[in-house]
Amino acid sequence: MFSFVESATSYPESQMEDCISSALSNPATKSISKDLITNYCDCALKAIFDENKDIRESGYECAKKNFN
């Protein structure tokens, strides 16, 4: 028997929307695709909410993973 479960997130959806909106309006990330920004936001929010990591450190690590 197999069961499939969609991935669950512990962060509020509004946080994801805010992150994406902020990144899309930032001149430094204007040339980055929405998909990469979404991946970045998911990575950072998971680190912050699920792993209790520092906000700045999480943002930096996820930026390195998604934007380089």
Question: Cβ distance 58 to 47 under 8 Å?
Answer: yes
The pair of structure tokens assigned to 35 is 């998909």
**Angle at 33 (CA atoms; ends 52, 9), nearest 5 degrees:** 30
Q: What is the pLDDT along the chain (68 residues), one digit of tens a residue?
A: 555 555 566 899 999 999 999 999 999 888 999 999 999 999 999 999 999 999 999 999 999 999 98
**Angle at 44 (CA atoms; ends 65, 47), nearest 5 degrees:** 105
Q: Is the pTM of this model over 0.85?
A: no
Q: State which amino acid sits at residue 40.
A: Y
Question: What's the confidence (pLDDT) of residue 10?
Answer: 80
Question: What's the confidence (pLDDT) of residue 68?
Answer: 81
For residue 29, what are the contacts with CB-CB under 8 A and spacing of at least 6? Answer: 23, 37, 67
